[in-house]
Amino acid sequence: MLIDSHVNLHSPQFAEDQVAVIDRARAAGVALMVTICDRTDNFAQVAAIADAHPDIWCTVGTHPHEAKDDQDLTSARLAALASHPRAVGIGETGLDFFYDLSPREVQAKVFAAHIDASRETGLPLVVHSRDADDVMAQMLEEAHAKGPFKLLLHCYTSGPELARRAAVLGAFFSVSGIATFKAAEDVRAVIADMPADRIIVETDCPYLAPVPMRGRRNEPAYLPHVLAKLAEVRGWSLADAEAYTQDAFFNLFDRIPRS
């Protein structure tokens, strides 16, 4: 079973052929997908996709880029939305100090609400982190000390120190098409050291199409290229990579029944 743990099917890039994209994913062997909420006022649209397809689940959250428009978001609001039967995670949330599209203090405030919601609901926290390693590690460690919560660092491209500190907290990591990029040696080095039982895969479509599809709009049908690179980096067979990532996915997203 191939599982794409992070797709953005409500994106405007899929507006004209969303159903065809989903059909191509299934034809490529992708049996499950998690479509990601980037802002809470989009949740109804995201949830509608999951409601329409038994092999698609969803999350609820506000991306750090959008935090400026959701500054009053509370953990109670997130938890209420996450009671939807197809919601299986809190996020995408986190810190992005590369683009800084929301003020950093606002990103941190909104991120903290997501952490609380993850702890309250028991749903995994889907985290975006870019150029914020030290602050991210500190926030996660301080929050974890107040009470544990399940944690996924998605599309991991940060440094080895954040990976090490997050791994101590029990974090899971997802590998994306960036792992296939020629210049991504540093990313592959971190992937080689990730806990073997806490690695999953994603496309983050429509972004980050893997080699040999780089430059195109990404689709979940391209996930096999990501899995193949993960297997290569870890020295696993394709069958082992599929089995390890499948087991890790269901251990993380444990609201999804394993059939």
Q: What tens digit of pLDDT does each residue of 131-173 get?
A: 999 999 999 999 999 999 999 999 999 999 999 999 999 999 9
Q: What mean pLDDT value characterizes the chain?
A: 98
Which parts of 120-259 are beta strand (E)?
125-130, 151-153, 172-175, 199-201
Class of domain 2-252: alpha beta
- Quick one: which H or E segment has residue 60? strand 56-60
Q: What is the pTM of this model?
A: 0.98
In this prediction, residue 227 has a pLDDT band, given cuts at 50, 70 and 90, of: very high
**Residue 28 class from Cβ within 10 Å (0-12 exposed, 13-18 middle, 19+ buried)?**
middle
Name residue 19's amino acid.
V
pLDDT tier at 122 (50, 70, 90 boundaries)?
very high
> What are the distances in angstroms from CA 183 to CA 153, 178, 187, 200?
21, 9, 9, 22
Nearest CA among 54, 56, 111 for reference residue 78? 111
Tokens standing for 110? Answer: 């909104």
Helices 133-146 and 104-121, interaxial angle, to 10°? 30
Closest C-alpha among 206, 220, 218, 214 to residue 183:
214
Average pLDDT for 243-255: 98
